[in-house]
Amino acid sequence: MFIGHFAVGLAARKVGTQPSLAMLFIAVQLLDLLWPVFVLLGIEHLSIDPGNTVLTPLNFEFYPYSHSLLMAVLWGLLLALVYLLFTRNRKGSLLLAALVLSHWVLDLITHRPDLPLTPFGEVKFGLGLWNHPWAAITIEFVLFILGAYWYFKAAKPHRKIAYWSLIAFLLVVHMVNLSGPPPPSIGAVAWSANLMWIIILWAWWVEREQKDT
């Protein structure tokens, strides 16, 4: 998933003592923020394999340190601990840990069986929704629209143009990913994935004048 992860972050935002939208986006996409770095460092690897699934030509061959269930739990706990140390916000920290884990759960639904349980075993899981494109696209789109609407009603962002521009941008990027040609190289995949930080900065800008945590 792509916008499906952001949908969870949007839906989790409420006004009060919860983490900011930027922090929620970091949490739901933390595994995918770590993954391209690990690929560029040669720690994890993938290949471009058109037909690997109907919706994506990427074959995630080895990514246990970013995308195994055990490491998702550990990364979530680490993010929660860092947030707790800086904010003393226990509920917010627990929410961030849960959101990190939500990434693995959503990937479990969409990926073919390529998600490891731990970095130390060969057992892998995935329900393969990406091989049923209309169902995958519809579910992800509906989740995203609901998340975007829920955030707008709950948080009432002052920067409405910035917010709806962010929503439109995410939709456009998602459609390009679905309909565009296969990426030219593994390096292009990894470097472009690092551009996700722009989305996080954009989310920070949306709430810049109404920061409550």
Contacts of 128 (CB under 8 A, 6+ apart): 53, 110, 111, 112, 113
pLDDT digits (tens, 9 = 90+) for 85-117: 999 999 999 999 999 999 999 999 999 999 999
Which residue type occupies 134?
A: W
Q: Which two tokens stand for residue 113?
A: 């069986």
What is the C-alpha separation between 108 and 128, in angstroms, rounded? Answer: 8
Q: Which residue is associated with the tokens 């829920």?
A: 150
- List the chain domain ranges: 3-208
Residue 205 confidence (pLDDT) above 80:
yes
Residue 210 confidence (pLDDT) above 60:
no
What is the C-alpha separation between 191 and 172, in angstroms, rounded? Answer: 19
Q: What is the DSSP letter of 134?
A: H
Mean pLDDT, the chain, rounded, equals 93
Spatial contact of 67 and 104, defined as CB atoms under 8 Å apart: yes
Q: State residue 15's pLDDT score.
A: 59
Spatial contact of 9 and 166, defined as CB atoms under 8 Å apart: no
The size of the chain, in residues, is 213
As a dihedral over the C-alpha atoms of residue 83, residue 84, residue 86, residue 89, rounded to 10 degrees, the angle is 100
Residue 209 confidence (pLDDT) above 80:
no
Q: State residue 18's pLDDT score.
A: 82
Residue 51 confidence (pLDDT) above 60:
yes
pLDDT digits (tens, 9 = 90+) for 112-133: 999 999 999 889 999 999 999 9
What is the C-alpha separation between 29 and 133, in angstroms, rounded? Answer: 22
What is the value of pTM for the model shown?
A: 0.94
